[in-house]
Structure 1
Amino acid sequence: MNNTPATDGAAPTPAATSTQSPSLTRGTMIAAALAVCVAQVGIAIPAVLNGLFQQDLGTSASQLTWISDAFLVPVTLLELSFGVVGDLFGRKRLLVIGAALLAIGEFIAVLTPGLSSSTGTRVAVLLTGQVIAGIGAAALFPTSLAMIAAGTHTAERRNRSVTTWAAMLSFGGAISPIVGGFLARYSFGSDPNASWRWGFLFVGIVATLSALVSWRMATNSSAPQGRSLDWPGQITIAIALFALLFAVIQGPTSGWGSGLVIGGFIVFVLAFVAFIAAERRSTAPLLRLDLFSNRAFAIAAVATVIGMFAFLGTAYATSIRLSSIQGFTPLKTSIAFILLNGIALVQMPLTHRLMTRINPKWLLSGGMGLIFVGDLWMSQLSAANRSIAPIIVPLALAGIGFALSVSAVTAVAVNTAPNHLAGMASGTTSLLRDFGFTLGPAVIGAVALSHATTLLHEKISSTPALQAGLKAFQQAPQHVPAEQKASVQGAVDAVMSGPLGANAVPSTVTAGGKTEPFNPLKDAAFHALNTSYSIGFIVCAIGALVACLIAIAIPGGSRDVLIESDSLVDPEGATAANPAV
């Protein structure tokens, strides 16, 4: 593998090559660890802020889902391509650019306009920031790992360095809910609901620090020989995935039979067929289709997508239930995500030991089984109980299951592939894992909100008193003083936007020391959402159970569970993506 010489603090010079890659320096290790940590914080921190997004921005259900997926989609689509870009043009340069893009995206999100702008404008600015930040994170994940792999020349040192990298990734996932919840306690300007901006500001500042650290301390490396970008594959899979997510997310809002949604599904099919055709012709494909001719790998791939969908669907359903339905503060909501994400960090030493003693397919199957139990348990808990205590055990089970399965999933895939395709198998598994993560919020949001909307409409149509109350509520802006008209109209618009909006507006208001009825749909919306997100947990449970059974069916139960360290980087320099999220 040809690489550029070590150039601490100097501009990258990918044209220069040497026969030996530079040894991993402390500065490079620090830069890589900080980069992957802040990228993971950027992914995870919105989860505890969904309630504030809705209160401050007045988001619809589909907009709330897009806020989560706007970051995840670029990571899913661009992670493998950025691995190639780093190999071609220098990894240090890409690490700096990725951190800078992450910072810029977060700062754009912080600058989302205030109440004087429309909801559509405000959400568009926030989504723009999330997309840019996601592009930056997509560069940081593979590049930080590739820099470590390129600079370590013994199995022992590489394993130790990669373990540190994975620990920092898990640390980012563990601290993000705490940081987001804690900072949200403080007002941002005059609007108390705008406190979500502190979390984005924190990520932006740390990402800026990461860019500076990488620029000053990291050692450059590259591996341009035999590497090229698969533009047709990248473009067609990007169109396909975006069209699929658009159709799934917009379905509950626009209607599943609408031309917009049906058109989205048609574009997905056409673009996906074009992607398959492009990959068959490509000399350097983004995705090696011949991997799927290996039955064991194909089974592992299906288990990966379904299992990771089940976990992030669980996380999304938990976030909406606690913050948007029950109205928990971000700090209280963060407790749930400490259980879901933090356990992976604490459990890492045990998981590592288990990986050396047990075939990883059994860890994957067992982890999915625990997620199944946790989801089924969560589906039986009523949102009317506002105590945090009932959800601790089921979410802890899901967190333990995730810690086991996410560490095992790459090992399972690599163990099912031929040795010369180990690097490609690892990278492909990363793509599939992130695809499953991206589907989680989209599918669970669509299923739960479609059902909640149906239940709410049925309740209204069967209750004359509710119909009369809703009619009077819609006319309320006409009967209030001029200075209150805008706020009352905003409340009416929120209630009419769907179940989440109706649940966010109080059922009574206090005026002149007297409590008066206000939102007639509050209770009906709450019960519809309670039932529907319980169904969301059941869908996740079914997904986890299916992944569990599929993992058991993977051939090769007696194979060596250890992955050769060289499989982290293929002979041409392809990087394996993050082993934990």
Structure 2
Amino acid sequence: MVDTLAESERPTDPTLAGLSARSRAWTLLIACLGVLLVISSMVALNTALPDLAVATSATQAQLTWIVDCYTLVLACLLLPAGALGDRYGRRGALLFGLVVFAVASVAPVFWSEPLQLIIGRAAAGVGAAFVMPATLSLLTTAYPKDQRNKAVGIWAGAAGSGAVVGMLGSGGLLHFFEWQSIFWAFAAAGALLFLLTLTISTSKESVPRPLDWIGAVLIGGGLAILVFGILEIPTLGWSDGLVIGSMVAGVGLCVAFGIFELRQRHPLLDVRLFSNPTFATGAAAITVFFLANFGFFYIVMQYMQLILGYSPIKTAFAVAPLIGPVLVLSTTAFWFLPLLGLRLVVFSGLGLISIGFLMMGGIAVADGYSAIAWPMLVMSFGIGLLTAPMTSAIINTAPDDKQGVASAVNDTTREVGAALGIALAGSLLAAQYTDLLAPRLPEQLPEPVRQAALGSLGQALEVSAKLGPQGAQIAELSKAAFVEAMNSSTFGLAVIVGVSAVLIGLWAPGRDERQLRPLRTLRSTGRHRA
């Protein structure tokens, strides 16, 4: 269904030519476990932040970086790590990444100062950057072309479930053990997966080519600076000089990378792939739906814990129904994608996510779980429609020799989209919350209490609990402002995703492999058919 390069341009690694069905299935299992480990680690520490704050005396800024530095390092190293796997062997890259991840995960158990935790999480991000593209590239080179989409669908389903699995796992551990148990669990999982990985076959470029180190530095530095700027938006705001400077510098380095790659005989990433409508559609759609996915999680986890009063483990179980549609639609994408075409899948998937956000627009403080459950279910069908087809769109347009780099493109768009989603949702929510609450607070309220209440709903509830009868009024006002701000934020995300559905859909090829882009193309197509 999707555009592909000529078969002569897609050399097959001879070490994988004779793999049995059982060996391929075992490789698929290892790949799914690897991506599940990386994605679950992205969100697991969110449930432990209150315990970490008490145990380490970390500031709010330090807590943010304990979580975010993992994503920052992961995003900026994905492309170079994928290229190294292509060049020297994808199983070796996976093994190296698992060792680094496991060692870095156990380190915070022994060195638990805030700065040491940040360094440990950054080191775990280095390991994850080698693990994530290797899992998908090993998988896509192990399976023949006619079976590849089905295998990618299963991998994508595992990746799409990673956030919920991470929350369930960490919430369960915290219910019985201390926060250190999360790091022990990741270290043990990394060590076990290392042993299992020794049993699978490797693959690499059939014709070794020199590594593009300058390109690696440009794209790694550009993505690091760009993602850093995005992650600082909820704290500093869109107009802050550091945010603007970081984003401009990051985009500038990424543009320089593109120009440099066009002039290279052996580029790290052939940027001309983005002129392929299928490849570009996959990259753009993944960015948007991960923006929506993580923006949703950022908002709804606060709503469930601060408004509904859920514990971390109860919150995890409350969002667990997302897994069902994502897994079912991801594993059946090989069937419905050829029937619908990429264009209709993009329209439908992003459209359902946008509708889900719109359905959240009328939530009130007194509403219960059902008010959030129905929009979440609608969104999960949209996410499920997109997860596997968009990954397949990227993978199937890249030659087998560059599956590591193609996998890294798929993963990088996810990380950038996730960072953008948190930044957009966070900044919209914070600005609206403060603007709505400020004029409603009693004028005689002491300034320290006022500033705390305006800072966040969490701070407002903490302060109100110490103020007696007046505290109950402040709590109600703060909750009402938060829910109104949440409704405004979800409407903004609905507009962004809805507009993206139209624009990306116009670019995407349909069942006939043609696009809806320029009107001239449509007219010429009509004349040709006539």
Q: TM-score range by the shorter chain?
A: 0.7 to 0.9
Structure 2 CA distance for aligned equivalents of residues 335 and 169 of structure 1: 18
**1:576 paired residue number:** none
1:62-73 aligned at under 5 Å gives the runs 66-73=65-72
1:208-227 aligned at under 5 Å gives the runs 208-215=191-198, 217-223=199-205, 225-227=207-209
**2:123 paired residue number:** 132
Structure 2 CA distance for aligned equivalents of residues 258 and 20 of structure 1: 53
Q: Is the 8 A contact 2:342 2:508 kept in 1?
A: no
Structure 2 CA distance for aligned equivalents of residues 410 and 260 of structure 1: 33
| Aligned partner letter, 1:283 | R
Aligned length: 498
| Aligned partner letter, 2:70 | F
Change (3 A) 1:237 1:519: farther
Quote the sequence identity (%): 26
Structure 2 CA distance for aligned equivalents of residues 199 and 377 of structure 1: 35
**2:413 paired residue number:** 432
**1:93 paired residue number:** 92
**1:184 paired residue number:** 174
CA shift digits 1:472-503 (9 cap, x unpaired): x69xxxxxxxxxxxxxxxxx9xx489215513
Note the C-alpha offset of 1:256.
Answer: 4.7
| Residue number among 443, 448, 456 corresponding to 1:464 in the alignment | 443
The alignment status of 1:84 with 2:67, answered yes or no, reads: no
Change (3 A) 1:430 1:246: closer
| Residue number among 480, 484, 505 corresponding to 1:531 in the alignment | 484
| Residue number among 260, 265, 279 corresponding to 2:247 in the alignment | 265
Change (3 A) 1:520 1:163: closer
Using the size of structure 1 for normalisation, the TM-score is 0.74
**1:568 paired residue number:** none
Q: Is the 8 A contact 2:36 2:162 kept in 1?
A: yes
Ranges in structure 1 where 5+ consecutive residues have no aligned partner: 1-16, 114-120, 189-193, 475-491, 562-581
Change (3 A) 1:229 1:68: farther
| Aligned partner letter, 1:452 | Y
**2:138 paired residue number:** 147
Using the size of structure 2 for normalisation, the TM-score is 0.80
Change (3 A) 1:381 1:413: same
Structure 2 CA distance for aligned equivalents of residues 338 and 426 of structure 1: 27
| Residue number among 543, 554, 560 corresponding to 2:507 in the alignment | 554
Q: Which moved more, 1:267-276 or 1:359-368?
A: 267-276
Structure 2 CA distance for aligned equivalents of residues 538 and 112 of structure 1: 43
**2:378 paired residue number:** 397
Structure 1 CA distance for aligned equivalents of residues 491 and 103 of structure 2: 38
Note the C-alpha offset of 1:409.
Answer: 1.7
Change (3 A) 1:446 1:23: farther
| Aligned partner letter, 1:395 | M
1:367-446 aligned at under 5 Å gives the runs 367-385=349-367, 387-412=368-393, 428-446=409-427
Note the C-alpha offset of 1:300.
Answer: 5.6
Structure 2 CA distance for aligned equivalents of residues 356 and 504 of structure 1: 51
Structure 1 CA distance for aligned equivalents of residues 366 and 256 of structure 2: 48
1:161-560 aligned at under 5 Å gives the runs 161-162=151-152, 165-166=155-156, 168-170=158-160, 172-173=162-163, 175-188=165-178, 194=179, 197-215=180-198, 217-223=199-205, 225-254=207-236, 256-294=238-276, 298=280, 301-323=283-305, 326-385=308-367, 387-412=368-393, 428-459=409-440, 463-466=442-445, 468=446, 470-471=447-448, 495=452, 498-503=455-460, 505=462, 507-509=464-466, 522-554=475-507, 556-559=509-512
CA shift digits 1:103-142 (9 cap, x unpaired): 22332344563xxxxxxx52x3333333222322222222
Change (3 A) 1:506 1:464: closer
Structure 2 CA distance for aligned equivalents of residues 296 and 148 of structure 1: 20
| Aligned partner letter, 2:491 | I
CA shift digits 1:4-58 (9 cap, x unpaired): xxxxxxxxxxxxx995546436567546623542442442356465354146417
Structure 2 CA distance for aligned equivalents of residues 232 and 137 of structure 1: 22
Change (3 A) 1:146 1:260: closer
CA shift digits 1:427-454 (9 cap, x unpaired): 6455334422332112222232233344
CA shift digits 1:139-164 (9 cap, x unpaired): 22222233334444x44565565555
Ranges in structure 2 where 5+ consecutive residues have no aligned partner: 1-11, 515-530
Name the Cα RMSD after superposition: 3.8
Determine helix, strand or coil for the equivalent of 1:177. Answer: helix
Structure 2 CA distance for aligned equivalents of residues 19 and 294 of structure 1: 28
CA shift digits 1:523-565 (9 cap, x unpaired): 554344333333332232122212221243135323369xxxx
Structure 2 CA distance for aligned equivalents of residues 82 and 256 of structure 1: 31
Determine helix, strand or coil for the equivalent of 2:232. Answer: helix
